[in-house]
A and B are shown apart, each in its own frame.
Chain A
């Protein structure tokens, strides 16, 4: 099974694990009809973009920026090279959806990118696949070979006169290369470090040329939008949140995995699909959009529906759709320590607040967890996060700060307890009982 469960699915329809990813299977599922129709009927570029705008497809990589609007920023009349780039550098802790899209439905991404390239007049595309999933990279290369042989990419697509070539590029596992300008630097063969913006990639992107970068799932959704029509796609979700979305559910649930549900589906429904809480324990908190999103306490979370607006109202972000579920056995200090370590480790080191600030945050949280907390540490953490946020070149500084701020905001008593008593509020044996790694013996 590719996707563990779905409600009114699109992307995951007809997928059969490793058995149905090939071109023939994709064509059987109706694949490449959208691209064929657009090329044969010579649908105008503007109409393609309008259809995407109508669908209110919002970027699936994390920021949730409307895709149609992003495409319209590309200078279509620019005479030189233009690029479309797919961001498959899925490094956000908790997220594992793009991996499965590329593994089980790679041609949807290829078709989506070809349509995007057509709409923006780009002649060349790259799919940047992150370093830890080598077999996915190899499969994507195979899919590219199939598509190239069938004439869906390459010179003069299906005799239309439009040419688009697509290449896979794999990274070496730096989280920062998921930041779009760092990703471009990495493709160019340089050190993956974000660029200062402006200029934005739409005017100065890959090799200094206009470039549009979208997430894997965004591109994969394009063929379905073209086939269904923008309005039907929008209706499949909810107002201002078009379509279905893949959610990577992980943590203390019985069936962690990817689930495709329409945007606007209640969180409770998603949790139920994932088999409910492990051992019937109580939900304590949930990070609804990958590790960069602020944590949401159980009560608020159970009232949310899974869409950009509802989660934003709850004070967090839908982000990449990585739902990290934590039950009552979780020590929130320990959880934050692990998150802070990640951002400290993955900061690119380019700009001062992030380079120095993320290490400072981690060292302080680590000290609290280690029983060496000081009474003014929470105040210090709050101050350091405000000094990082909004003062860095890219969003990693913000991403590192938000967990710290939200964990302390919602679970201040646990941190205070830790500092005062030099131990966890949640007893260690309870933590171990709740963990999948320490069973029974605790």
Chain B
């Protein structure tokens, strides 16, 4: 279709609107309610334009292009209409831009300069709108500024999947508000702050701390989940003041999760470690870097010399950069130890050495929208992967058949084709049932060992959707990776992929879950679980908090406390690390170092530091490099993080090579179901990593509520406990006392107790047997 806008001609596909065509031509049409990712509301009327032969001005955002249409965006009629709308928008809007937090980055302010009058004809009293308290993330303190564009409402309905805000009442008394007493803090709600074209919804932690023109903008990458969201970090006086999304259609589109947005508060936390510390006579003392590094190199040499290299183990956080992971494994191996790992929450490592390549998502993120069907296995999808879940939500809204097979019945807010919720022990069986259904549908032989499995209607429906879909995918979530039979789940998923032609992959827990494999931070001796199950003499910890990050925190902490030497490279000085570490080396978080994260689709994204390091903290790659020199190890002479990166991936940025989810020599063997009460451990979104744990605003949200013991009513009844009672949970040598809560989404015979929180750090395995009794 051909359209002419202000004399310029464009060819646009059928179904385009005038706004689409204008954007294609680079012609700007003023607007407020229109947003490329949201449905069209046509309610602000700012984009009225003149269309040839139309008697009235028409909204560009909602008017479909007809062939040969002629549009005038600056004609007298159009300008008059736009100015008329601007006058209406301003009559009730407070005209106090100098004291508004949005001032300087306000669409209304900008457009008012172009379309507003210099004096107001409105002499009446202005509307008064009461402020609302909606939690710790979003401020709704100045709702009189709202221009009712409903972007926030539509965002909730369409992108976040939960309508946290709505427009109540009618006429000029219409108000954006929550349901009575609710807060606005779903995992994506911070995006509403960006969407709000005026100063009505503002960031609570940021507001009135800086003006937008005082801030410098730096590019960065999110260190949290495996999406690798692109960030714009805004700084003032060497302090990170705010984090905003940076558009990257292929990765995070224009969104970021609340964790990405608000965890920056931890960067300026009083708990930051600013000086190296060494334990002297039982107490940690601040020392100079030279002293600390000297101490560490001698201590490491001593341990290796006296007890053998096997007595040393290194554990890194999967949120560490590619360069850090690489240098840590290089140093550990050079010292003679093969006990290096970056997967602290993993339990089953039997695929190690049998992997065909670097495990990854199995397809590009941008391919998700074209899938016909998808199956997610073992995931607390919304909270584990907010933006990944968002992509599946959009898929489910169109034609895609999205199914979920997991251990928690949380509503993913996705239109699901089928949902199966089973106990952790039954998860391999449930996946096997889907495999068997798929084999039957494809008239292929049922894989050996699966004969006894009985597919239910849901597993048949899932198999059918995968078989019928031209392009389908299987995604293994965090639970599937942390599961005691992760290898079997992997093998079953591969078998299902083979039978259905689907792709198969891992969503990945953290920013560098793929990068760790690329950096080869993998064990040739003891893995992340074994290094604590068989206590070592010395440990090097990189950014990891074993009491909160390990599959079995009880076991990890015991081993660390008993160790002769624990060297912790950490940005923070608080927490359990003070109890067991002998040396604390202050390293920088992502904002103060350069580095690379390889996201779930294998995309290596490098970034620079955005501010100078806090105190004496130093980038971990530099610390490790110097340690390597002090230990006289070969290959530690890189001058920049880029040189380190190029050693790992010579191609630099772009997609990492060697991605494959294949397995060699892992036969299908269904595990035997165990009896007794099982634990289901989710990692709540704001407890998942060291930064989120220390972000005050995030810690006040609903998602950061202290863990409870959640059980279904029948399970609770068999224990003789009532809802709200205190229960004592026991795993191995540890116990914790929590409040019991009825949660019908928890499978029978299971108790859901979150990991990653201090109150449950005394417990054991994430999916192990657990004992519950009245406290």
Binding site for B on A (CB under 8 A): 174, 176, 191, 196, 198, 344-353, 355-360, 363-364, 367, 374, 380, 383, 386-387, 390-393
**Closest beta carbon of chain A to B142's beta carbon, Å:** 18
Docked-complex contact A349 and B124, CB < 8 angstroms: no
Docked-complex contact A359 and B43, CB < 8 angstroms: no
Docked-complex contact B84 and A356, CB < 8 angstroms: no
Docked-complex contact B124 and A176, CB < 8 angstroms: no
Q: Given the complex, which residues of A lie within 8 Å of B268, measured CB to CB? A: none
- Interchain CB contact (< 8 A) of A346 among B45, B171, B174: B171
Docked-complex contact A347 and B170, CB < 8 angstroms: yes
Q: Given the complex, which residues of A lie within 8 Å of B48, measured CB to CB? A: 391
CA distance A347 to B174 in the complex (A): 10
**Closest beta carbon of chain B to A172's beta carbon, Å:** 12
Docked-complex contact A349 and B57, CB < 8 angstroms: no
Q: A360-B91, A367-B124 are in contact. Are A352 and B171 (CB under 8 A)?
A: no
Docked-complex contact B171 and A355, CB < 8 angstroms: yes
Docked-complex contact B43 and A351, CB < 8 angstroms: yes
Docked-complex contact A352 and B172, CB < 8 angstroms: no
CA distance A359 to B171 in the complex (A): 8
Docked-complex contact A349 and B174, CB < 8 angstroms: yes
| B81 within 8 Å of A (CB atoms) | yes
Q: Given the complex, which residues of B lie within 8 Å of A380, measured CB to CB? A: 121
| Chain A residue nearest to B84 in the complex (CB) | A387
Q: Given the complex, which residues of A lie within 8 Å of B664, measured CB to CB? A: none
Q: A349-B172, A349-B173 are in contact. Are A191 and B89 (CB under 8 A)?
A: no
| B40 within 8 Å of A (CB atoms) | yes
CA distance A196 to B48 in the complex (A): 13
Docked-complex contact B45 and A391, CB < 8 angstroms: yes
- Please tell me the number of chain B residues within 8 Å of chain A, measured between CB atoms: 37
Interface CB pairs A-B, < 8 A, 14: A176-B170, A346-B171, A349-B173, A350-B174, A351-B44, A352-B45, A352-B147, A353-B45, A353-B85, A355-B174, A360-B88, A386-B84, A390-B57, A391-B45
CA distance A349 to B44 in the complex (A): 11
Known A196-B59, A345-B171, A351-B45; 13 more pairs at CB < 8 Å:
A347-B171, A348-B170, A349-B174, A353-B85, A355-B148, A355-B171, A363-B124, A380-B121, A386-B84, A387-B84, A391-B57, A391-B81, A391-B84
- Interchain CB contact (< 8 A) of A348 among B42, B55, B147, B171: B171
Q: Given the complex, which residues of B lie within 8 Å of A392, measured CB to CB? A: 45
**Closest beta carbon of chain A to B338's beta carbon, Å:** 61
Docked-complex contact B42 and A349, CB < 8 angstroms: no
- Interchain CB contact (< 8 A) of A356 among B62, B64, B123, B172: B172
Which one of A198, A347, A351, A364 has the highest number of Cβ atoms from chain B below 10 Å of its Cβ? A351
Q: Given the complex, which residues of B lie within 8 Å of A393, measured CB to CB? A: 42-43
Q: Given the complex, which residues of B lie within 8 Å of A363, measured CB to CB? A: 124-125
Q: A387-B87, A391-B56 are in contact. Are A355 and B172 (CB under 8 A)?
A: yes
| B111 within 8 Å of A (CB atoms) | no
Docked-complex contact A196 and B42, CB < 8 angstroms: yes
Docked-complex contact B88 and A356, CB < 8 angstroms: yes
B77-135 CB contacts (< 8 Å) to partner A: 81, 84-85, 87-89, 91-92, 121-125
CA distance A207 to B91 in the complex (A): 36
Docked-complex contact A358 and B170, CB < 8 angstroms: no
CA distance A322 to B578 in the complex (A): 82
Main SS class of interface, A: helix
Docked-complex contact A198 and B64, CB < 8 angstroms: yes
**Closest beta carbon of chain A to B200's beta carbon, Å:** 15
**Closest beta carbon of chain A to B556's beta carbon, Å:** 52
Which one of A345, A357, A391 has the highest number of Cβ atoms from chain B below 10 Å of its Cβ? A391
Q: Given the complex, which residues of A lie within 8 Å of B91, measured CB to CB? A: 356, 360
Which one of B40, B81, B174 has the highest number of Cβ atoms from chain A below 10 Å of its Cβ? B174
| Chain A residue nearest to B147 in the complex (CB) | A352
Docked-complex contact A351 and B42, CB < 8 angstroms: yes
| Chain B residue nearest to A367 in the complex (CB) | B124
| B167 within 8 Å of A (CB atoms) | yes
Q: Which 3 A-B pairs have the closest CB atoms?
A: A349-B174, A387-B84, A356-B88
The digit string for B198-231, where 1 denotes a CB below 8 A from any CB of A, is: 0000000000000000000000000000000000
Q: Given the complex, which residues of B lie within 8 Å of A360, measured CB to CB? A: 88, 91, 122, 124
Docked-complex contact B124 and A364, CB < 8 angstroms: yes
Docked-complex contact A347 and B172, CB < 8 angstroms: yes
| B673 within 8 Å of A (CB atoms) | no
CA distance A393 to B45 in the complex (A): 9
| B169 within 8 Å of A (CB atoms) | yes
| Chain A residue nearest to B123 in the complex (CB) | A374
Docked-complex contact B81 and A349, CB < 8 angstroms: no
| Chain B residue nearest to A355 in the complex (CB) | B172
CA distance A353 to B57 in the complex (A): 13
CA distance A77 to B43 in the complex (A): 34
Q: Given the complex, which residues of A lie within 8 Å of B147, measured CB to CB? A: 352
Q: A196-B59, A356-B91, A363-B124 are in contact. Are A349 and B45 (CB under 8 A)?
A: no
B41-57 CB contacts (< 8 Å) to partner A: 41-46, 48, 55-57
Docked-complex contact A196 and B172, CB < 8 angstroms: no
Docked-complex contact B88 and A387, CB < 8 angstroms: yes
CA distance A361 to B310 in the complex (A): 84
**Closest beta carbon of chain B to A377's beta carbon, Å:** 9
**Closest beta carbon of chain B to A421's beta carbon, Å:** 20
CA distance A252 to B257 in the complex (A): 64
Q: Given the complex, which residues of B lie within 8 Å of A356, measured CB to CB? A: 88-89, 91-92, 172
CA distance A391 to B48 in the complex (A): 8
Q: Given the complex, which residues of A lie within 8 Å of B167, measured CB to CB? A: 191, 349
Which one of A176, A383, A393 has the highest number of Cβ atoms from chain B below 10 Å of its Cβ? A393
Docked-complex contact A349 and B169, CB < 8 angstroms: yes
Q: Given the complex, which residues of A lie within 8 Å of B88, measured CB to CB? A: 352-353, 355-357, 360, 387
**Closest beta carbon of chain B to A387's beta carbon, Å:** 4
Docked-complex contact B171 and A358, CB < 8 angstroms: yes
| Chain B residue nearest to A349 in the complex (CB) | B174
CA distance A211 to B214 in the complex (A): 55
| Chain A residue nearest to B168 in the complex (CB) | A191
Docked-complex contact A390 and B174, CB < 8 angstroms: no
CA distance A206 to B87 in the complex (A): 35
Docked-complex contact A346 and B42, CB < 8 angstroms: no
Docked-complex contact A390 and B55, CB < 8 angstroms: yes
Which one of B43, B44, B56, B89 has the highest number of Cβ atoms from chain A below 10 Å of its Cβ? B43
Q: Given the complex, which residues of A lie within 8 Å of B46, measured CB to CB? A: 352
| Chain B residue nearest to A374 in the complex (CB) | B123
CA distance A353 to B174 in the complex (A): 14
CA distance A386 to B125 in the complex (A): 22
CA distance A308 to B510 in the complex (A): 70
Q: Given the complex, which residues of B lie within 8 Å of A386, measured CB to CB? A: 84
| Chain B residue nearest to A358 in the complex (CB) | B171
CA distance A305 to B257 in the complex (A): 66
Q: Given the complex, which residues of A lie within 8 Å of B173, measured CB to CB? A: 349
CA distance A274 to B105 in the complex (A): 63
Q: Given the complex, which residues of A lie within 8 Å of B59, measured CB to CB? A: 196
CA distance A317 to B314 in the complex (A): 85
CA distance A380 to B81 in the complex (A): 16
CA distance A357 to B45 in the complex (A): 13
- Interchain CB contact (< 8 A) of A344 among B57, B169, B171: B171
Q: Given the complex, which residues of B lie within 8 Å of A348, measured CB to CB? A: 170-171, 174
Q: Given the complex, which residues of A lie within 8 Å of B45, measured CB to CB? A: 351-353, 391-392
CA distance A360 to B126 in the complex (A): 10
Q: Given the complex, which residues of A lie within 8 Å of B62, measured CB to CB? A: 196
Docked-complex contact A350 and B172, CB < 8 angstroms: no
Q: Given the complex, which residues of A lie within 8 Å of B81, measured CB to CB? A: 387, 391
CA distance A359 to B88 in the complex (A): 10
CA distance A392 to B42 in the complex (A): 9
Q: Given the complex, which residues of A lie within 8 Å of B170, measured CB to CB? A: 174, 176, 346-349
CA distance A344 to B123 in the complex (A): 17
Q: Given the complex, which residues of B lie within 8 Å of A351, measured CB to CB? A: 42-45
- Interchain CB contact (< 8 A) of A196 among B40, B57, B85, B125: B40
CA distance A346 to B46 in the complex (A): 22
**Closest beta carbon of chain A to B88's beta carbon, Å:** 4
Q: Given the complex, which residues of A lie within 8 Å of B125, measured CB to CB? A: 363
CA distance A198 to B64 in the complex (A): 9
